Amino acid sequence: METGSTTAGDQALLRGRLTGRCIAMGLMGSLLLSTCGSWPVGSTERVEVKIDGVVLPVSVEEHGAFVRSPTADPAQLSRSELSTWMGLLAPESRKGLIRLLQAPVLSRRSLGRQLLSSWGAGPLLHALGELIRVEDGERINRSLVLATLDQLLERQETVSTLDVFEALPTPQLRLDLDALVAAANRWRLELKRHQALMRALAQEEARLQPLKGWERSASADAPRRATLAVGHRSHPLRLERWIPESPRADQTWVLMMPGLGGDPNHFHWLARSLMQAGWPVLVLEHPGSDAAAVQGLLEGRRSFDGALALGDRLADLAAVLEAQQRGDLNIPGTEVVLMGHSLGALTALLASGAKLVPGMSQRCEAALAGLPLTNLSEVLQCELAAGHVLDGKEMDSPPRAVVGLNSFGGLIWPHRTSRALSIPLLMVGGTLDLITPPLDEQLALLAGLAAHPASRVVVVEGASHFSPIRVDGQGKASEGDDIFRLGEELVGVNPLSVQRVIAHEVIGFLDSLNSMSPRNDAVHLMDASSKTRWHRLGHRRALQLLDQ
Question: Between 512 and 31, whose confidence is greater?
Answer: 512
**Single-letter residue type at 162:** L
Residues 154 and 291 in one domain: no
**In a 3-state reduction of DSSP, which class is residue 212?**
coil
Supply the pLDDT for residue 352: 96
For the cut 70, the answer to whether the pLDDT of residue 526 exceeds it is yes
Q: Do 290 and 256 reside in the same domain of the chain?
A: yes
Residue 203 lies in a domain: no
3-state helix, strand, coil in the chain (%, to 5): 40, 15, 40
How far is Cα 262 from Cα 289, in angstroms, rounded to an integer?
8
- Dihedrals phi, psi of 86, to nearest 5 degrees: -65, -30
pLDDT value at 19 more than 50: no
Rounded alpha-carbon distances, angstroms, from residue 432 to 195, 445, 471: 10, 18, 21
Q: Rounded CA gap, 104 and 34, in Å?
A: 9
Q: 454: number of CA atoms within 13 Å, CB side?
A: 22
309, 260 contact by CB (below 8 A): yes
Banded model confidence at residue 117, pLDDT cuts 50, 70, 90: low
- Asked if pLDDT for residue 527 goes beyond 80, the answer is yes
What are the phi and psi torsion angles at 137 (to 5°)? Answer: 75, 10
Query: What is the radius of gyration, based on Cα positions, of the chain?
Result: 26
Is 542 a domain residue? yes
- Taking the alpha carbons of 62, 63, 64, 66 in that order, is the dihedral positive or negative? positive
Question: Could you give the percent of the chain with pLDDT greater than 70?
Answer: 62
Q: How confident is the model at residue 14 (pLDDT cuts 50, 70, 90)?
A: very low
- 33: part of which helix (H) or strand (E)? helix 21-33
pLDDT reported for residue 16: 38
Query: Of 127, 155, 189, which marks where a domain is finished?
Result: 189
**Higher confidence at residue 154 or residue 60?**
154
Q: In this predicted model, what pLDDT tens digit does every residue of 475-490 receive, in sequence order?
A: 444 344 433 344 444 5
The confidence band for 369, taking pLDDT boundaries of 50, 70 and 90, is confident
SS (H, E, C) 455-512: CEEEEECCECCCCCCCCCCHHHCCCCCCCCCCCHHHHECCHHHHHHHHHHHHHHHHHH
Residue 81 region by backbone torsions, left for phi larger than 0, else alpha for psi between -120 and 50, else beta: alpha
Asked whether the predicted pLDDT for residue 11 surpasses 80, the reply is no
Of residues 244 and 14, more confidence is placed in: 244
Sorted by sequence, the CB contacts under 8 Å of residue 262 that are 6+ apart come out as 290, 291, 341, 342, 344, 469
Q: Assess whether 542 and 417 both reside in one domain.
A: yes
Q: Where are the beta strands (DSSP E) in 108-179?
A: 132-133, 158-160, 172-176
Residues 6+ apart with CB under 8 A from 437: 194, 374, 375, 429
User: Does a structural domain hold residue 2?
Assistant: no
The answer to whether residue 3 scores a pLDDT higher than 90 is: no
In-domain check, residue 206: no
φ, ψ at 240 (rounded to 5°)? -125, 125
Residues 163 and 93 in one domain: yes
205-238 pLDDT, tens digit each: 999 998 875 555 555 578 999 999 999 999 999 9
14 plus 132 within the same structural domain: yes
Q: What number is the average pLDDT over the span 319-342? A: 95
Cβ neighbours around 322 below 10 Å, total: 14
- Whether residues 125 and 233 share a domain: the answer is no
- In sequence order, the β-bridge partners of residue 54 are 51
Higher-pLDDT residue of 394 and 89 is 394
Element (H, E) at 271: helix 268-276
Task: Mean pLDDT check: name the lowest of 38-42, 418-422, 511-515.
Answer: 38-42
Q: Are residues 236 and 129 in the same domain?
A: no
Distance CA 234, CA 225 (A): 19
pLDDT exceeds cutoff 50 at 498? yes
CATH code (residue 307): 3.40.50.1820
| Higher pLDDT, residue 430 or 435 | 430
No. of helices (H) and no. of strands (E), the chain: 20, 17
45-98 per-position pLDDT tens digit: 555 655 555 555 655 555 556 556 655 454 544 444 445 555 555 566 556 556
> 157 vs 193, which has greater pLDDT?
193
Q: How far apart are CA 438 and CA 430, in angstroms?
A: 6
Q: Which residues, 6+ apart, have CB-to-CB distance to 379 below 8 Å?
A: 115, 118, 119, 120, 123, 124, 368, 372
Chosen domain end from 189, 204, 225:
189
- With respect to residue 437, please indicate whether it lies within any of the assigned structural domains: yes
* Strand spans (E) along 158-243: 158-160, 172-176, 207-208, 224-228, 237-242
**133 pLDDT tier (thresholds 50, 70, 90):** low
Domain assignment present for 527? yes
pLDDT at 21 over 60: no
518: pLDDT strictly greater than 60: yes
State what percent of residues in the chain have pLDDT above 90.
39
- Which range (101-105, 158-162, 342-346, 508-512) has the least confidence? 101-105
Tell me how long the chain is: 548
Q: Let me know whether 127 and 261 are in one domain.
A: no
The answer to whether residues 33 and 162 belong to one domain is yes
**What is the extent of the structural domain holding 522?**
213-547
Is residue 179 domain-shared with residue 217, that is, in the same domain? no
Are residues 380 and 525 both part of a single domain?
Answer: yes
Q: How far apart are CA 134 and CA 129, in angstroms?
A: 9
d(CA 269, CA 501): 12
Q: Is residue 202 part of a domain?
A: no
How many domains are contained in the chain? 2
Whether residues 42 and 106 share a domain: the answer is yes
Confidence band for 178, pLDDT divided at 50, 70 and 90: low
The reported pLDDT for the residue numbered 536 is 96
pLDDT of residue 34: 35
Structural domain ending residue among the three candidates 155, 189, 223? 189
* Top-confidence residue, 151 or 52: 151
With a cut of 60, say whether residue 13 has pLDDT above it.
no
The answer to the question of residue 200 being in a domain is no
Beta strands in 88-170 (DSSP E): 104-107, 132-133, 158-160
